[in-house]
Structure 1
Amino acid sequence: MSLVPDRTDIDTTLSDRDEFLRKLIEQPRPKSKLEEGVECSRSTLDRALRELAEANLAKYKNGLWQPTLLGRRTLQNRDEYLDSLENLSEAAAVVNELPPDSPITGEFLIDANVHEASSTMPDAVTKTLLNSMAEANKIRIATPAMFTVLAEQFYEWLDGDQLECLEMLLSPGLFEETQVVLPGFTDTDVVGSQLELYSGPIPFDFGLWIADTGEAGVIVYTDQGIQGHLVNDRNAAVEWAHDQYAHAKQEVLQTGSAKS
C-alpha cells in the first residue's frame, strides 16, 4: 500500500488543521502541551493529529508531536501561494484594463507596488511614477502612449544632466506628437547625446520602463488617460522586464527607425 498521501487529502488537511501544524512548527511538543496552546476539545485535537499524521504532515517521535519535512515545506508553499493570490488581487484594479492575453506574468505582478489612479485626483499617480524614476542614471522605456507630464520631466532631467541615458521606444506617430508638445525634446544642443530614440510598433499595450538595472515598472493606459502603474524590484520581475524590453526593441529595430 502506498504511503504517499493524496494531493486532495493534503490540501484539505492543511486548510482544516492549519493552526495545529503551525504550533508544531513553532515547537515540537507532547499532546498535553499542544492542547494547552490550542483552544479545542480533546476529541478535536486527537482527530487533528490523526489527520496530520495520515497526510504525512506530522509525526509522533520520542514522546513529541512534530512536523515532518513535508509538513513544514507544504505549509510554507501554501502560505507563499496565498500571498501571491493576494498580490494578484491587489493588481487587478490596474491590470484588468489590459487584454487577457497581455504578456504580463506573475513574475512581475508578485510583490509589485500597485498605484491606481484616483478619480478625484488622477494626476497624483503620475507623481508616484516620477518618484520611482527620479534617482535613476539610466532609464529605458517602451510605450505605445505618453502623457505630457512624463515627457516634460524627461526633458527637464536631460536638460539638467540628471540622466546619463534615456532610451525610448515609441509607437509610430507618438514621436511626432511628442515633438509638437516639446519641440526641443530631440534637440541635441539641448539634451546632448543622452537621448536614444526609436520609433516603431510596440508589441504590447502597456508602457514598460526599467530604471538602471534594479527596478522596473508597467504603466497601464485607458482611453481617458492612465489607469495606474506597478513597480517591482524583485530579480524575477526585473528579468521579465528586460526580456520584454529586448523583444520590443528587436521588433522596433526590424520594422521602425532610429530618430536620434
Structure 2
Amino acid sequence: MLNRRDNCLQTLTDAPQAKRDLVETLDIPRSTLDDIVRKLDDAGLVTYQNGKWGLTNLGQYAIEAHANYTEQLESLLQVTPVVEELPSDTTVEYEFLIDADVYMAPTKIPDKTIEVFLDSVESATEIRGFTPIVMAGYAEDFYQAVTAGDDYQLDLVLPEDVFNQVRELYSEQTDEALTNDQITFVHCEVPATYTLWIADNDHAGIIVYTERGIQGILINDTDEALSWAVGQYEHVRDEAEPLVLQSQ
C-alpha cells in the first residue's frame, strides 16, 4: 500500500489538498486519483474534511515509518558487499549495520583500508576489542597509533598462538607492551571471524577479511551499534585470560 501510494501521501505531508490540486501535482488522471484516495481512506491513512484530503495521524506515522524503512534498507544495501564475505555462521546484528559508514577495500590494494582503522585508534584514548587474526605487516603501525599520545588505554583479546607469532616478528615491541600498565593483552579462542574495536565509547568498528586481505570496514556511532559492540566484546572478554611474558 505505502509503496504504491507513497507519492500521494508525500504530497499531503505538508497540508491537506483539494482533489483538483492533487490531480495537478501528481499528474495523474482523476479516475486514478479517486482509486488511490479511496484505498488510502479505507486503510485509515487519509481523511476528507472541508473539501480537502489530508493525512490522518495514522497516515503521518505510516509515512514516517515508511521513510525510516527505506533509509534502513538503503543502509543494508550499502553494507552488503562487506558483510556478505562473512561465513554463514557469523552474523553482525542489524543494530550495527543500520547507519554504518562503509569503507570498501580497493580491489588492487585491499589493505589500504586499514588506514581507516589506524586513524580511529590513534584519535582515541581508550580502545577495547578483539581480533581472531593479526595482519603482521600492520602490527607495528597499530602499536604506534595506539601509543601516539600519553593518555591511552588498550585492552585487546586475541588467540594466544596469534600473539606468539606476532611476538616472534616483533619481540621488542610485544615484550614492551606486556609490561606496559596502559596496555592489556588477554587471550582466548575468539569466536568471531572479524576484528571488532570500540573507541572511547564514541564509535565502534569491525574489519571483515577475505583470503586476499581486507574486504571492508564498517564504523558506527549510534547508541544501538555501540551497545551491540560492547556486548560482543564483553562476551569474548569474559572468557579470556591474561597473557604472561615467557622467555623465548
Give me the TM-score of the superposition, normalised by structure 2.
0.91
Q: 1:259 to 1:83 in 2, by over 3 A?
A: farther
C-alpha distance 243-148 of structure 1, shift in aligned 2 (>3 A): same
- 2: CA distance, partners of 1:188 / 1:93: 38
- Offset of residue 112 of structure 1: 0.6
How many residues get paired?
245
d(CA) in 2 for partners of 1:214 and 1:28? Answer: 42
Which SS does the other structure have where 1:123 is aligned?
A: helix
Matched, 1:110 2:95: no
Per the alignment, residue 185 of structure 1 pairs with 173
Matched position secondary structure for 2:91: coil
Q: What residue in structure 1 maps to residue 113 of structure 2?
A: 125
Of residues 217, 233, 239 in structure 2, which corresponds to 1:229?
Answer: 217
Counterpart position of 1:6: none
Q: Is the 8 A contact 2:122 2:147 kept in 1?
A: no
SS of the equivalent of 2:27 reads: coil
4+ runs of 1 displaced by more than 4 Å?
A: none
Asked if the contact 1:142–1:202 (Cα under 8 Å) also holds between the matched residues in 2, the reply is yes
Q: Is the 8 A contact 1:115 1:229 kept in 2?
A: yes
Secondary structure at the counterpart of residue 26 of structure 1? coil
| Residue in structure 2 matched with residue 94 of structure 1 by the alignment | 82
In the other structure, the counterpart of 1:241 is 229
Measured after TM superposition, the shift of residue 239 of structure 1 is 0.5
Which residue of the other structure, out of 68, 75, 78, is the alignment partner of 2:56? 68
* TM, length-normalised to structure 1: 0.87
In 2, the alpha carbon distance for the partners of 1:160 and 1:14 equals 52
Counterpart residue number, 1:21: 9
What amino acid does structure 2 have at the position aligned with 1:214?
Answer: D
1:195 aligns to 2:180 (yes or no)? no
How far residue 86 of structure 1 moved from its aligned partner, in angstroms, is: 1.7
Pair 176,52 (structure 1): closer, same or farther in 2 beyond 3 Å: same
Q: Does 1:79 align with 2:64?
A: no
Matched with 1:167 is: 155
In the alignment, is the contact (CA less than 8 A) between 2:178 and 2:184 conserved in 1? no
SS in 2 for 1:180: helix
User: Aligned residue for 2:238?
Assistant: 250
CA distance in 2, matches of 1:109, 1:252: 27
RMSD: 1.9
Consecutive unaligned residues of structure 1, counting only runs of 5 or more, are 1-12
- 1:83-131 CA distances to partner (integer Å, 9 max, x unpaired)? 2222112111111111223231110001111112122122321112222
User: Is the 1:141–1:207 Cα contact (8 Å) retained in structure 2?
Assistant: yes
Instruction: Give aligned-pair identity as a percent.
Output: 36
- Amino acid corresponding to residue 233 of structure 1 in structure 2: D
Q: Does 1:259 align with 2:244?
A: yes
